[in-house]
Amino acid sequence: MNKYSEQSFNSQIEAVAICRTPYKQKFGIPRQPGLVNVRGWVELAPHVNNIDAVRGIEQYSHLWLLFCFHENLAQGWKNTVRPPRLGGNEKLGVFATRSTFRPNGIGQSVVKLHNVVQRNGKVCLEISGMDLLDGTPIIDIKPYIPFSDAIDNASGGIAQSAPQLIDVQFSQLAESQLAEYSSENKVADLKQVVNDVLAQDPRPAYKKAKADAKIYQVALYDIDIFWHLNNDKIEVIEIKPTSVC
């Protein structure tokens, strides 16, 4: 037995919470936190579901969420990946990127904390800016500490600046459908959320350098958003309720 296996964990890591978000599929989720101002919830798991576990957390404006890429674990990982920032054409080491395909499938995101409430017997943190799939297991929650977590003049490598946004426009049909859904379901700023999600241009990197007539679909909340590229802009064509199989 080598020194690495001797230092392996003696017990399983157990999720302390589940993240509830509008993102119902991996396609369309922002590639980094803080890019889309959409709200969600962190629901504490039964074994830590005690208001004392989050006592004092309101004094922090932001939190670190450590989570599991639970839908990617079965696909394994490789030593090198093709980052979207490089157009999907160049390789970097997995530890030089934030690839979702990692040896232990662990990710981290910083989110804004808005409120602490108890809903249906569950202690919940209201958050925004998350880049997590609905149902993501949270394995730890830590406060964001500005003086140590924000480093002046840090080098960001291939991700030194925020991604370039693409203009988003809406058909008349999509406009009316969004307004109707937003009113009926009391989802505030739904059009802005859709705009901000699609402005990131969630298409695969290899598609962005080519003419692209494909109609894409992104699932948010319980609606499907259909859109395509039109004259170098994203056009939302229509909105439909998510099909239930």
Locate the domains of the chain by residue range. 13-69+105-149, 168-241
CATH code, residues 13-69+105-149: 2.40.30.70
Residue pLDDT, tens place only, 73-115 = 888 888 998 887 777 778 999 999 888 899 999 999 999 999 9
Residue pLDDT, tens place only, 132-167 = 999 999 999 999 999 999 988 889 888 888 888 999
Q: Read off the pLDDT band of 1 (50, 70, 90).
A: very low
SS3 101: coil
β-strands 62-68, 216-220 pairing:
unpaired
SS3 3: helix
> Is 168-241 in CATH node 3.30.1330.90?
no
Contact 51, 65 (CB under 8 A): no
Domains 13-69+105-149 and 168-241 share a fold: no
Residue pLDDT, tens place only, 39-56 = 999 999 999 999 999 999
DSSP state of 161: S
Short-list 138, 109, 126, CA closest to 29: 109
Distance of CA 178 to the CA centre of its chain: 22
